[in-house]
Structure 1
Amino acid sequence: MNKATRTTSLRQHKLTFLKDNNNSLQLQTRSQSFKQNISISPDKKSQISPTKQNSVFLNGQLLTRPRSKYNQQANLSTTKLQDSQKMFLIQQAQQQQAQQQRSEQSPALHRKQQSDKVLKYDLPKISPIKARIPIKQLQSDMNQLDLFKREQIKQNLIKSAYTKSQAGKNEDNLTKTNQDSFISLQSFKDNMSLFGVCDGHGQEGHKCSQFIRDNLPKNISSQLSQSPSSITESISKSFIRTNSQLCNAEEIITTFSGSTTVISLIVDDTIYTANVGDSRSIICRLQSNGVKTAISLSNDHKPDLPQERRRIEQSGGRVEPYIDFDGSSLGPSRVWLKSEDIPGLAMSRSFGDKVAASCGVICEPEILTHKIQEGDLFMVLASDGVWEFLSNEQVIDMIYPYYVQDEGNAACVRIVKESIKLWKLNDTVIDDITIVIVFFNKQK
């Protein structure tokens, strides 16, 4: 037998490939306690790398075998293997065959089982060799550890999220097109979650709200990637960019159509709420004395607010309610052109609405931040179909029993039914109603 041509180290044992007169390879393992020869057939010698062998210890001995895809075909010499080692190889082959059969019978189930076995984030393991590397080279591992910690915060913070949207009815009691849309992305981006409600209005309001639902999250994600340190600025730029895309969309006419939008972006334990219009976001906090309070995460943008009215009037618009033929005021304050009774928008900020935008209605969001504290139980985002006749306190009082019982879907149904009942009692129409409820785990 000729001189050894290659030697490599694996788990402190030496693997030596030897070539005999028949030009076949022989793998020899050497250690202080064990010495074993394994013959490898010539047709496999080009497929097996000595640095990628799959080695195991069994009964104090080192068993070296080719990779799993060759287990059933490799020509291993078993003359000196113990019975337990033979059983090990047989069992491995049987398990692989059974696993392959299961995957062929139910590919979806197999993928789910495999994904359940894999951790989403692996904690960095710094070896003694790596510990001698300069700190700058270890920065990627530390970033991974930081990401893992933030992901754990998010998972521990949000328990679950629930949604429900129902179309309203017109004066003839006929169900109309639902112009509301909602956003519920619990795993939005890295350590972030995103929730929102869009309330469309006008002839093509449903198209506007759906466009915002589909494009605003993409723009926020893109802006955050470009400027991860400035979350509020990224959100504001995303609103403006989405509005520009909406107004330039050929398939949507936004002359007298648009949509309100409120979103809550949760980053670690901080909520960034951006609002345009009169959809609303609140949070329920349970005080130490057992009293529940509703904390507003957004402000409704009504035209008669001093700051909003000032901007509209400076832009050439006017703010007043609708005036009927008798000169009586009807309904809330609205935005009108200086010399024409259009568009009559009942909010001072919105997406779309090109005519209203010409007289001071803007899409720039008002962004408020909230640090989640002990006692914060759940968050609610809803269109004005809910807030028209229900106060913040009434909403959290109705939801709280369902939070205790962990029945979020039932809580959504309760709010929708109560809102419909009040619309029937107070108006001839029923507005579209959309609600998103986010349950938090108890904070320590």
Structure 2
Amino acid sequence: MGSCFSAESRSPLPGSPLSPHQALDYWKKGYSRKKSGSFDYRKGETLHRIPGRLFLNGSSGVASLYTQQGKKGTNQDAMIVWENFCSRTDTVLCGVFDGHGPFGHMVAKKVRDHLPLKLSAHWEVNISSEDGFRKISLNTAGSVNSEEIAFISADNDSRTSVNLDETEKLPEIEIFKTLKESFLKAFKAMDRELRLHTNINCFCSGTTAVTLVKQGPYLVIGNVGDSRAVLATRDKDNSLTAVQLTVDLKPNLPAEEERIRRCKGRVFALHNEPTVARVWLPNNDAPGLAMARAFGDFCLKDFGLISVPEVYYRRLSEEDEFIVLATDGIWDVLSNNEVVDIVASAPARSSAARALVHSAVRAWRYKYPTSKVDDCAVVCLFLDSNSSNLTYASNAKEKPASMDHINNESEKDDSVGVLTSLDRSGSVRTSKVIPGGNEDSSKSKQQERNLESGIDWSSLDGISRVDTLLNLPRFVPGKEDEKARK
């Protein structure tokens, strides 16, 4: 996702006490503490064989997922869908993870594999406890730093996407409190494990994480960083609309910036990207992290960066159709409404995530031809498993999705393709959307526009149909695109 700024790639700001070379020395000092290594594949193979656990490109009966490497080097995005989570038939876990820094791809995969296990363990403990979440204390022995204080504060007061009536919705409140406690403990334990990990250097590497657990009609989301969750729902006119479920936790958010500055960290944007606020060390022009919360990045953990998740709750209704989790490679070039329209216009659920990633890549090339396309990862979770038709742009009915998540693919070795410097240029395009706010996306209006423009949707394939929705030039397959489409 390119959230770290290379200290070697620019001159020091006027008045900066240290040169880029000194900042790089600071990073090397942290780097020398650990050596990178490969993943324990014996444990990994067992984990990857769990039924219902998807992490490669493909689909299941309830979800579609797809990731594609950008043009910045190793694909640092990861994703997961875990059906029957915690051995509950009505429960599914989904998540996307966007790594950054020299070992970001390793951090993202580590969190993908281990965060769900920690969440499951803490959830079981909370449920089995006589007093539920009240018996588990967030306080630990030893000194309490800024992140510890943030965890305690988050336990007492966490933002939700829906206001609850405590007198009428007590069961819902208890479910939310239990899962909220589990998210807080799991995220905290995950970051501690990364700090102590001997095979992955997390000093200047880290990852975002947006993870949701859906149990029946109840949805709880834990989020750190700037990946995003968006819900597609029907309004009173039966029009499909986008509702943003999470907040992009950027350093320029007032509360985030205040915490970072209070902890002596610095927040400012570079002259050549004035819209991208970054986090810097107090006396060093490094690392330039374009988010306020993340796993890893321990060089900044004493200066305001935290891994405490924002936890959101929502009770799903019959009007809710699907949820899209995606890394910022998608959101940098597509709006919430465009994402919902693209997924809704996919010819089949099994190809929805792939269609969205390919559309984002096309949008990158068209809108920002001089920029490197970012890595993209998407999970589409469909809430009505009985629906047989997703698209309003085509009359073709969807074929039953198959468990093709293996796809004859294997992940690349974590020990290869490691970046040797903080050379992931930052994201420079964002959009402000209030969580819970609706964006106009009218099915009927879209159909009227199609009729007025004389578009014959039946003559367009999936990618060309999406290009038309986005007002992009008609898709003309090149050698690379033709290969991707096959």
Scaled by the length of structure 2, the TM-score of the pair is 0.55
- Deviation digits for residues 54-99 of structure 1 (CA, Å, limit 9, x no counterpart): xxxxxxxxxxxxxxxxxxxxxxxxxxxxxxxxxxxxxxxxxxxxxx
Structure 1 counterpart SS, 2:66 = strand
Match of 1:233 among 160, 176, 181: 181
* 1-structure distance, mates of 2:273, 2:115: 37
* 2-structure distance, mates of 1:443, 1:317: 50
Structure 1 counterpart SS, 2:84 = strand
Match of 1:185 among 78, 82, 91: 82
Structure 2 counterpart SS, 1:162 = strand
User: Partner of 2:328 in structure 1?
Assistant: 384
- Deviation digits for residues 174-229 of structure 1 (CA, Å, limit 9, x no counterpart): xx211111010011112421000000000000010011011101101110111024
User: Partner of 2:44 in structure 1?
Assistant: none
Structure 2 counterpart SS, 1:354 = coil
* 2-structure distance, mates of 1:167, 1:330: 27
Query: Would the aligned equivalents of 2:98 and 2:327 in 1 still touch at CA under 8 Å?
Result: yes
Instruction: Indicate the structure (1 or 2) with the bigger Cα radius of gyration.
Output: 1
Counterpart mapping for 1:112-151 below 5 A: none
Structure 2 counterpart SS, 1:283 = strand
* 2-structure distance, mates of 1:355, 1:212: 18
The CA deviation at 1:421 is 1.6
CA RMSD of aligned residues (A): 1.8
User: Partner of 1:208 in structure 2?
Assistant: 107
* 2-structure distance, mates of 1:217, 1:320: 34
* 2-structure distance, mates of 1:329, 1:270: 40
Structure 2 counterpart SS, 1:334 = strand
* 2-structure distance, mates of 1:428, 1:159: 36
Number of equivalent positions: 275
Query: Would the aligned equivalents of 1:376 and 1:443 in 2 still touch at CA under 8 Å?
Result: no
Confirm whether residue 244 of structure 1 aligns to residue 185 of structure 2: no
Among all aligned residue pairs of Structure 1 and Structure 2, give the percentage whose two residues are the same amino acid.
34
Query: Would the aligned equivalents of 2:61 and 2:385 in 1 still touch at CA under 8 Å?
Result: no
Confirm whether residue 358 of structure 1 aligns to residue 260 of structure 2: no
Unaligned runs of 5+ in 1: 1-157, 171-175
Query: Would the aligned equivalents of 2:62 and 2:385 in 1 still touch at CA under 8 Å?
Result: no
**CA 1:443/1:160 → structure 2, altered by over 3 Å: closer, same or farther?**
closer
Confirm whether residue 428 of structure 1 aligns to residue 368 of structure 2: no
User: Partner of 1:302 in structure 2?
Assistant: 250
Counterpart mapping for 1:306-321 below 5 A: 306-321=254-269
Confirm whether residue 417 of structure 1 aligns to residue 358 of structure 2: yes
* 2-structure distance, mates of 1:337, 1:200: 20
**CA 1:442/1:255 → structure 2, altered by over 3 Å: closer, same or farther?**
closer
* 1-structure distance, mates of 2:213, 2:273: 39
Match of 1:271 among 189, 205, 219: 219
User: Partner of 1:71 in structure 2?
Assistant: none
* 1-structure distance, mates of 2:99, 2:183: 20
- Which residue identity does 2:113 align to in structure 1? D
User: Partner of 1:198 in structure 2?
Assistant: 97
Query: Would the aligned equivalents of 2:223 and 2:246 in 1 still touch at CA under 8 Å?
Result: yes
The CA deviation at 1:267 is 1.6
The CA deviation at 1:329 is 4.9
Structure 2 counterpart SS, 1:355 = coil
**CA 1:329/1:383 → structure 2, altered by over 3 Å: closer, same or farther?**
closer
**CA 1:375/1:251 → structure 2, altered by over 3 Å: closer, same or farther?**
same
Unaligned runs of 5+ in 2: 1-59, 133-177, 388-486
Confirm whether residue 437 of structure 1 aligns to residue 380 of structure 2: yes
The CA deviation at 1:358 is 2.1
Query: Would the aligned equivalents of 2:224 and 2:307 in 1 still touch at CA under 8 Å?
Result: yes
* Structure of higher RCO (CA pairs closer than 8 Å, 6+ residues apart): 2
- Which residue identity does 1:440 align to in structure 2? L
Structure 2 counterpart SS, 1:357 = coil
The CA deviation at 1:338 is 2.0
- Deviation digits for residues 259-293 of structure 1 (CA, Å, limit 9, x no counterpart): 00000101221110110000011110012312221
Query: Would the aligned equivalents of 2:191 and 2:295 in 1 still touch at CA under 8 Å?
Result: yes
Structure 1 counterpart SS, 2:284 = coil
* 2-structure distance, mates of 1:412, 1:221: 26
The CA deviation at 1:330 is 4.3
* Higher-strand-fraction structure: 1
Structure 1 counterpart SS, 2:278 = strand
Scaled by the length of structure 1, the TM-score of the pair is 0.60
**CA 1:442/1:216 → structure 2, altered by over 3 Å: closer, same or farther?**
closer
* 2-structure distance, mates of 1:388, 1:303: 16
